Amino acid sequence: MGACPNGAVPDAASAGLAAVLDITRLPQPLTDILEQTLHLPLVSYYLGVVDIADICRENADPPPALDQLAVSIMSDYVSKGPVIGSVNALAYIRNYLRYQLFLQHCVCNAFTPPPGADCFHGVNVVVPQPLNSTVSLGTVVISDATMDVFRTLDPTLHTIIFTAGLTLAAGDTLTHSWDLEMQFSNGQWVGVVAESAFGVGTPVRRQANFSAGLPPISKNAPLRIRNVAARGHTYPTLDFCFDQGQAVAPPLPVQPPLPGLPTIPPPVCDTTDLCSIVLEIARSLTRVAAQVSDIQASIGSTDEFVTLGSQTIFGTGELPVVVGTRAVSIELTTLGPGVFTSALGNPRGLMRAGSIRWGDGTGFSKRQFIDAEDFTRLRPQGAITITWQLINECVGVLRFLG
The tens digit of pLDDT for each residue in 206-244 reads: 999 999 889 999 999 999 999 999 888 999 999 999 988
pTM as predicted? 0.47
pLDDT of residue 24: 74
Report the relative pairing of strands 159-167 and 199-200 from DSSP bridges: parallel
Spell out a b/e string for 356-394, using b for 16 or more CB atoms within 10 Å of the CB, else e: bbbbbeeeeeeeeebeeeebeeebeebbbbbbbbbbeeb
User: 69-83, 92-106, 259-273, 365-379 — which is least confidently predicted?
Assistant: 69-83
User: 34-38, 247-251, 280-284, 382-386 — which is least confidently predicted?
Assistant: 34-38
- CA distance to 334, 354, 369, per residue, from 342 (Å): 19, 18, 19
> Phi and psi (nearest 5°) for 79?
-90, -25
The C-alpha atoms of residue 92 and residue 81 are separated, in whole angstroms, by 18
Q: pLDDT tens-digit profile of 291-332?
A: 665 555 554 444 567 888 888 888 888 888 887 788 888 888
The C-alpha atoms of residue 54 and residue 60 are separated, in whole angstroms, by 11
The C-alpha atoms of residue 64 and residue 71 are separated, in whole angstroms, by 12
Question: In which band, very low, low, confident or very high, does the pLDDT at 287 lie, cut at 50, 70 and 90?
Answer: low
Q: Confirm if 142 and 185 have CB atoms less than 8 A apart.
A: no
In one letter, which amino acid is 212?
A
pLDDT of residue 257: 67
Q: Confirm if 358 and 392 have CB atoms less than 8 A apart.
A: no
Residue 57 burial (CB < 10 Å; 0-12/13-18/19+)?
middle
Spell out a b/e string for 265-299, using b for 16 or more CB atoms within 10 Å of the CB, else e: ebbebeeeeebeebeeeeeeebeebbeebbeebee
- Own/partner pairs for 80-85, CB < 8 Å, 24+ apart? 82/39, 82/267, 82/275, 83/274, 83/275, 83/278, 85/37
* Residue 349 pLDDT greater than 60, yes or no: no
> How far is Cα of residue 114 from the mean position of the Cα atoms in its chain?
24
Asked whether the CA dihedral 323, 328, 332, 337 is positive or negative, the reply is: positive
Q: Confirm if 164 and 198 have CB atoms less than 8 A apart.
A: yes
Mean of all residue pLDDT scores within the chain: 80
Higher pLDDT residue, 114 or 101? 101
- Residues 272-291, mean pLDDT to the nearest whole number: 66
Report the relative pairing of strands 159-167 and 233-242 from DSSP bridges: antiparallel
pLDDT of residue 295: 57
Question: In which band, very low, low, confident or very high, does the pLDDT at 136 lie, cut at 50, 70 and 90?
Answer: very high
Question: In which band, very low, low, confident or very high, does the pLDDT at 183 lie, cut at 50, 70 and 90?
Answer: very high
* Residue 49 pLDDT greater than 90, yes or no: no
Question: What percentage of the chain exceeds 90 in pLDDT?
Answer: 30
Q: Which domains does the chain have, with CATH numbers?
A: 1-110 (no CATH), 119-242 (2.60.120), 283-402 (2.60.120)
Question: In which band, very low, low, confident or very high, does the pLDDT at 3 lie, cut at 50, 70 and 90?
Answer: confident
Q: pLDDT tens-digit profile of 335-345?
A: 776 676 555 44
- Residues 365-388, mean pLDDT to the nearest whole number: 83
pLDDT of residue 83: 40
Question: In which band, very low, low, confident or very high, does the pLDDT at 350 lie, cut at 50, 70 and 90?
Answer: low
- CA distance to 215, 237, 280, 327, per residue, from 164 (Å): 24, 11, 60, 55
